[in-house]
Amino acid sequence: MSTEPGAGVHVLGVRHHGPGSARGVRSALEALQPDVVLIEGPPDADELLPLAAQAGMKPPVALLVYALDAPAHAVFYPFAVFSPEWQAIQYALGRSLPVRFIDLPQAHQLVPEAMAQEKAEPPREDALGGLARAAGHEEGEGWWEQLIEQRQDARGVFEAVLEAMTAVREAGGDIPAREALREAHMRRCIRQAKKEGFQRIAVVCGAWHGPALVQAKPAREDDALLKGLPKTKVAATWIPWTYDRLGWRSGYGAGVDSPGWYAHLWLTPERPVSTWAARIAQLLRGEGLDASSASVIETVRLAEALAALRGRSAVGLGELRDAALSVLCEGDATPLVLVHDRLEVGTGLGEVPSDVPAVPLARDLAALQKSLRLPPTSESKLQELDLRKELDRGRSRLLHRLRLLDIPWGEPEDDTRNAKGTFRENWRVKWEPELAVRVVEASLFGNTVESAATSRVKARAAEAKELDTLTALLEASLLAELSASIDTVLHHVQELSTRSADVPKLMEAFPPLVRTVRYGSVRETPTEPILAIIHGLLERIFIGLPGACVALDEDAARERHGQLSTLHAAMVLLEDKERLEEWSQALDGLVQRDAVHGLLRGAALRLRVEMGHVEDAVLGPLARKALSPAVPPAEAAAWLEGLVTGSALLLLHRDELWAALDGWLSGLTRETFVEQLPLVRRAFSRFGAAERRAMADRIRRPATAPGAARSTRGGDDLDPERVAQVLPVLSLILGVRLDENLG
């Protein structure tokens, strides 16, 4: 073992997450029989170390250390069952030995000055990468895995690692200031242990720090370096962790790319290759893919042959991956993505005992998860909720409240069954470890999920400056069933809406209010106050709508077009016949006003047609006016786009409109047609293939309406030569292929 000046101090340099390093540490500790175990980690969490031995603690887990006055400033120290530090902790606790963390406390590292300094420092070069390249490997993890993690005999390993890291540090020059502080504090802790009379001191640290803890350095130099460091109050707790997050460079500053593979090496040291191939086959069979026992045997043989060909002493993950690709996946790399995600990385979520210190909000959330039978999991799962069932309604309520607290455990998804109604919700839920920090942050608003969400909504409502922000907040509060906050938000909505003269903002604020009323029956929330606000908004929208649709450029017109469509959908959802009639009249005001942008006049006419408020006798003259030669082609094309956006039935069954469109296209000069072709094609591009085929069939039929006879050659009077000239143009616009012979 390596010793620091003074007998009895043994430094074990490790990779922070590695089964070989963990195995070596256990073996070394068994041989050393130390009096105390010192581990690179946060001294702020020393009081939590005894909890690691409890039965309810199941790795992967992590220590979360955060600043009390700024919980977003946090750091994680993750542990897997194969982490050397975890095995050192288990060894010490199992023998009732003192065990301590010796890294620089996070109370000094989570202050703004230290965090800014760390960001400004250049990243430290990967020592493993340099050693790997010198040994002929492409990257450090594969080299370390072959040399250390697959080794069964740990004798001499720590001395060799120390010698290699010493050479790397000597060639690398000065170390970053933060690293110097960390190593000074580690040396101080080692000296303190010696002063306390411990004779055999075991130090488990990252291999890169080993040389700095072995070299002699006067205590006064370390004390001078550590004197006067800024400090903040911090708190710490244990939280569940996931294998895919073991790749994070947080806390220890190191991660691994294949934690599932490392766990496999730790748990199955006797036959890691054959059992790994069998697990791949089992996974593939579970996905409905062929994976026979013979293929497993052939995969193992090929992996062993590849290792021998590459000069490797043992089969590694690279050889197994290549062999599985050739044999089990039959050369198709697609299943390897599944193997990587499920096996190489892994999907396990750890567990912590219920008596682990936590903020009250975290305890309330855990109790709700248990009572609603909605446990957190690292796998992405779809929750299909029926709000008529009390359990599903409770789950929906919880997920909506967490979203208001910026804890996105679940994300809403569209119903793939296209089910109508307001009693169904789909959520995609996946628990991410970093959400624990969000829970701590949200605890500033309350000790329970309900009280915290209510306080958060009230605070956001008081800060809101835009009406659409408030209406969206009201909708979210209703979905979360926060009755205590709905009245507050409604008050702010009423106050702001009476002062707002911005019609576009009023239009954006209207749909969430309508959806709120629609959900009222399901959520059992009174909707009368909301309806009063809705009617007040509509009056101001109807009055100000014409003025909001004039003097617009192209981008502004398209934005207003989207607002019109959304507002119309909300009006239909409201199911108020009187208000729908008023809405139709407001749209007619846009249709008849030439100063309104063509896109909006066409869209307004389209909406009135869909409502059944425009007869053919009216539609034809409006179309001929909008598409007359006196109208600039760009304006006419914009009107056409607004009109045809939606279903093609409007064109297929309205002969007057069809005739006006035909007359307009026929009257364009060649230069103007080429100029406007992109706009016309964009108008027709939204139609589906079936609709475009139906329009092509419509072209083959002569128009029969009286208006059509006046604007085109009707029936038997068609000139075949002129028709032949027009058909290719229509084919280009519609995006369909027409037969040259019309028969």
Q: Do 99 and 43 belong together in one domain? A: yes
Strands 201-206 and 36-39: parallel
- 655 in a domain, yes or no? no
Q: Do 75 and 224 belong together in one domain? A: yes
- 134 in a domain, yes or no? yes
Please provide residue 586's backbone torsions phi and psi, each rounded to the nearest 5 degrees: -65, -40
Strands 9-14 and 201-206: parallel
Q: Do 433 and 365 belong together in one domain? A: yes
Tell me how far apart the alpha carbons of residues 517 and 527 are, in angstroms, rounded to a whole number: 6
What integer pLDDT is reported at residue 743 of this predicted model? 40
Q: Do 19 and 78 belong together in one domain? A: yes
Range with lowest mean pLDDT among 44-53, 354-363, 699-708 = 699-708
Q: Give Cβ neighbours of residue 145 (< 8 Å, ≥ 6 apart).
A: 18, 20, 316, 317
CA 415 to chain centre: 19
Q: Do 294 and 234 belong together in one domain? A: no
Q: Which of 396, 421, 449 is the last residue of a domain?
A: 449
Q: Do 313 and 190 belong together in one domain? A: no
Average pLDDT over residues 286-315: 92
What value, to the nearest 5°, has the Cα angle with vertex 363 and ends 361 and 367?
A: 115
Residue 656 clears pLDDT 90, i.e. is over it: no
Average pLDDT over residues 588-596: 89
What integer pLDDT is reported at residue 127 of this predicted model? 67
Domain count, the chain: 3
- Distances in Å between the alpha carbon of 48 and those of 101, 380, 604? 11, 30, 66
Amino acid identity for residue 60 in this structure: P
Average pLDDT over residues 471-489: 87
Q: What is the pLDDT of residues 73-122, one digit of tens each?
A: 888 899 999 999 999 999 999 999 999 999 999 999 999 887 777 776 66
Q: Give Cβ neighbours of residue 590 (< 8 Å, ≥ 6 apart).
A: 545, 546, 549, 596, 600, 601, 604
Q: What is the pLDDT of residues 228-247, one digit of tens each?
A: 999 999 999 999 988 887 76
**CATH label of the domain that carries residue 317:** 1.10.8
Half-sphere exposure of 657 toward its Cβ, with a 13 Å CA cutoff?
21
pLDDT higher for 594 or 712?
A: 594
Residue 713 clears pLDDT 60, i.e. is over it: no
Q: How many other C-beta atoms can be found within 10 angstroms of the C-beta atom of residue 480?
A: 26
pLDDT confidence bin for 369, thresholds 50/70/90? very high
Mean pLDDT for all residues in the chain:
83
Tell me how far apart the alpha carbons of residues 123 and 640 are, in angstroms, rounded to a whole number: 58
pLDDT confidence bin for 705, thresholds 50/70/90? very low
What integer pLDDT is reported at residue 273 of this predicted model? 94
What integer pLDDT is reported at residue 460 of this predicted model? 93
Q: What is the pLDDT of residues 59-74, one digit of tens each?
A: 999 999 999 888 888 8
DSSP state of 175: P
- 81 in a domain, yes or no? yes
Range with lowest mean pLDDT among 572-581, 604-613, 723-732 = 723-732
Tell me how far apart the alpha carbons of residues 169 and 175 are, in angstroms, rounded to a whole number: 8
Residue 714 clears pLDDT 50, i.e. is over it: no
Tell me how far apart the alpha carbons of residues 291 and 299 are, in angstroms, rounded to a whole number: 11
pLDDT confidence bin for 324, thresholds 50/70/90? very high
Would you state the structure tokens that stand for residue 399, as one six-digit string? 């997920």
Q: Say whether 90 sits in a helix, a strand or coil.
A: helix
- 434 in a domain, yes or no? yes
- 552 in a domain, yes or no? no
Whether a cis peptide bond, with omega within 30° of 0, leads into 60 is yes
What integer pLDDT is reported at residue 523 of this predicted model? 61
pTM: 0.69
Average pLDDT over residues 244-262: 70
Would you state the structure tokens that stand for residue 530, as one six-digit string? 């909301």
Maximal CA-CA distance, the chain: 114
- 537 in a domain, yes or no? no
Average pLDDT over residues 384-409: 93
Residue 720 clears pLDDT 80, i.e. is over it: no
pLDDT higher for 667 or 193?
A: 193
Amino acid identity for residue 392 in this structure: D
Q: Do 73 and 214 belong together in one domain? A: yes
Residues spanned by the domain of 177: 8-250
CA 228 to chain centre: 41
* Among 160, 46, 135, CA closest to 93: 46
Residue 691 clears pLDDT 50, i.e. is over it: yes
Helix (H) or strand (E) holding 690: helix 689-700
Q: Give Cβ neighbours of residue 184 (< 8 Å, ≥ 6 apart).
A: 104, 221, 222, 225, 226
What integer pLDDT is reported at residue 740 of this predicted model? 44
pLDDT higher for 629 or 396?
A: 396
Q: Which of 401, 417, 449 is the last residue of a domain?
A: 449
- 667 in a domain, yes or no? no
Q: Do 336 and 370 belong together in one domain? A: no
Q: What is the pLDDT of residues 196-205, one digit of tens each?
A: 999 999 999 9
Q: Do 212 and 114 belong together in one domain? A: yes
Tell me how far apart the alpha carbons of residues 305 and 139 are, in angstroms, rounded to a whole number: 22
Helix (H) or strand (E) holding 427: strand 424-429
- 510 in a domain, yes or no? no
Rounded (10°) angle between helices 19-32 and 259-267: 40
Q: Do 193 and 276 belong together in one domain? A: no
Q: Do 131 and 233 belong together in one domain? A: yes
pLDDT confidence bin for 708, thresholds 50/70/90? very low
What integer pLDDT is reported at residue 393 of this predicted model? 92
Q: Do 221 and 188 belong together in one domain? A: yes
Tell me how far apart the alpha carbons of residues 327 and 325 are, in angstroms, rounded to a whole number: 6
Would you state the structure tokens that stand for residue 697, as one six-digit string? 């069939």
pLDDT confidence bin for 524, thresholds 50/70/90? low
Q: Which of 449, 473, 489 is the last residue of a domain?
A: 449
